[in-house]
Structure 1
Amino acid sequence: MPDNIVDLKNRPKLPAADIETLLTALVADDNRVQSVSLTCGTVWIKRHGDKGRNAIVAVQRAIARLLRLPFMRPSPTVNGEGMVARDLRRMDKFARADIPTAAIVYSSGSAIVLSDITPTVDQQLRTLRKSDHAAYDDLLVFCCAELGRLHAADLCHGRPVPRDMFVKDGRLGYIDFEEEPEAIMPLPMAQARDLWLFFLQVSDRAFDRKATQDRAYQAWANTAPQAAIAELGKLGRSMERFLWFARLIGRFHMGRDLRQFILATTYLTTVFNG
């Protein structure tokens, strides 16, 4: 078996035929995300690159500095190989804390191959949206409760969105560890940002919005560290400054991102303002 096949406890081992198929796929395509069917099942190739990323990071960093929003600062910039190293390091950190992640099948250069974790939470939500609205909202609340458990374990994700989450054995699992906010800001601030980012989804997607927001926030706060809750209050007060402008723009064009910002920030501001 080649040296760069990860051979750890509970990690998949590939037969020679699958290794050949996988290596062929790695060199024959350059899509950022690609699925490959092997005898052991489907695996996913994720390729990292810095095309266009440096410019985006520079803009985000400038905005965070200009508007004095430290929780919006981007993670340190690294190249493709550095992104893979970050992914692997953070996945190992989560696994050591018994937080589910995808299994690492293979890594080489700027590419990493992961086991299949579908259905993602996003896929589950899409199914429930058509069949069971109560279960749909319950799943959003469950994700917030699990974020609280993650934060209680002194971890954060950095970009918690439903497509990067899955449920395994009654626990929430995570993939795509491209962000590392705790490297550029205090951990409680990064955890508060986690909750705010996921609340953008909760506030926009929930069927019974106010009740689901209440349940979701409480589910997170029940286990989240007090320092993270305090930082969330500061975050809300910082973002409250921009609500008037967001609502003004919304009168002319209410895009989804703007709607998410208004709904989530308004709710969280209310929680801390009483």
Structure 2
Amino acid sequence: MAATRVQRESWQGQVAWRKTYADGGRRRRIAALRWVARQLGANALLPPLPLSPELACRTEQAMINRLAALGANVPPLLAVGDRELLLGDLGPTLALVCRAETHAGKRRELVQAGLDALATLHGHGGYLSQAFARNMTLLDGRVGFIDLEEDPCTVMSLAAAQARDVLFYAHSTARFLSDQPGEHARLLQAHLAREAPDVRAEVARTASALSWLAPVARLFGGRSRDVAEALASLARATA
């Protein structure tokens, strides 16, 4: 993925975001991740090839237009350049809203809202770049999708790309329901019942391939525990 810088601006009296693309310089890391994904047989975790700034910019334009055509809530393209885009605002990220919410039941509803948005998108044949909660927004009850500068279907099937969405979303939301034992897994299980069989199979295959990592991750703090929580939820949801 190319490196990006995002700056807030004003456009015709409204909030806008200028996104500039640069060389990411992460080719060795991505090559290593691709090798690991292949060794595990985890197709959904295969990272797309690194892109030049210009190609990343064009990819995000294409992804935005493709998702908009499917009825998804994506940022309007206000201005387009070779290495930058001016994008409309879709409100705060879902991650930010979840972190600020102190009521457990409402946090569950927020996580469910993201799953509902993914289910609708997948039902229309769509997929995201990286479906983390930080790359989803929530405004007036509507979930939106941002940060779309890579196209997973350049290296994997549609089923794997949609499974990748579920996996990334699970990873980024388990922490928000850690005070509600088993609830995250129940939400994922119900969501997977709405996905196509080949998507469910990809999620289950990847969860199985990564099952050994959960007990190891629990030995560490912070983000490692979040990984462990997500993997435990996925294991229960796909059992």
Q: Same fold (TM over 0.5)?
A: yes
Shift of 1:102: 0.7
Q: Percentage identity across aligned positions?
A: 21
Paired residues for 1:106-145 under 5 Å: 106-129=79-102, 132-145=103-116
Please tell me whether the aligned partners of residues 8 and 17 of structure 2 are also in contact (alpha carbons under 8 angstroms): yes
Q: In structure 2, how many angstroms separate the alpha carbons of the residues matched to 1:121 and 1:271?
A: 22
- Where does residue 9 of structure 1 map in the other structure? none
- Where does residue 235 of structure 1 map in the other structure? 206
- Where does residue 161 of structure 1 map in the other structure? 132
After superposition, give the CA deviation of every residue in 1:84-137 in whole Å (9 maximum; x if it has no partner): 1000001001000001101111111111110111222123223323xx221112
Which amino acid in 1 is paired with 2:82? G
Question: What is the RMSD computed on CA atoms of the aligned residues?
Answer: 2.2
Please tell me whether the aligned partners of residues 64 and 70 of structure 1 are also in contact (alpha carbons under 8 angstroms): yes
Q: In structure 2, how many angstroms separate the alpha carbons of the residues matched to 1:199 and 1:216?
A: 8
- Where does residue 17 of structure 1 map in the other structure? none
Q: Normalising by structure 2, what TM-score?
A: 0.89
Compared with structure 1, are the counterparts of its residues 84 and 203 closer, same or farther at alpha carbon in structure 2 (3 Å cutoff)?
same
Please tell me whether the aligned partners of residues 76 and 87 of structure 2 are also in contact (alpha carbons under 8 angstroms): yes
Q: Normalising by structure 1, what TM-score?
A: 0.78
Q: In structure 2, how many angstroms separate the alpha carbons of the residues matched to 1:226 and 1:68?
A: 18
Please tell me whether the aligned partners of residues 203 and 209 of structure 1 are also in contact (alpha carbons under 8 angstroms): no
Shift of 1:270: 2.6
Compared with structure 1, are the counterparts of its residues 233 and 174 closer, same or farther at alpha carbon in structure 2 (3 Å cutoff)?
same
- Where does residue 147 of structure 1 map in the other structure? 118
Q: In structure 2, how many angstroms separate the alpha carbons of the residues matched to 1:65 and 1:257?
A: 24
The residue matched to 1:126 in structure 2 has which SS? helix
Shift of 1:151: 1.3
Paired residues for 1:189-228 under 5 Å: 189-206=160-177, 207-218=179-190, 220-228=191-199
Shift of 1:231: 1.4
Which one has a bigger Cα radius of gyration?
1
Greater relative contact order (CA < 8 Å, ≥ 6 in sequence): 2
The residue matched to 2:108 in structure 1 has which SS? helix
Any gaps of 5 or more consecutive residues in structure 2? none
Compared with structure 1, are the counterparts of its residues 209 and 193 closer, same or farther at alpha carbon in structure 2 (3 Å cutoff)?
farther
Shift of 1:195: 0.7
After superposition, give the CA deviation of every residue in 1:24-47 in whole Å (9 maximum; x if it has no partner): xxxxxxx81111123421210111
Please tell me whether the aligned partners of residues 56 and 150 of structure 2 are also in contact (alpha carbons under 8 angstroms): no
Equivalent pairs, count: 236
Please tell me whether the aligned partners of residues 191 and 228 of structure 1 are also in contact (alpha carbons under 8 angstroms): yes
Paired residues for 1:1-274 under 5 Å: 32-129=5-102, 132-168=103-139, 170-206=141-177, 207-218=179-190, 220-244=191-215, 246-247=216-217, 250-251=218-219, 254-273=220-239
Please tell me whether the aligned partners of residues 100 and 168 of structure 1 are also in contact (alpha carbons under 8 angstroms): no
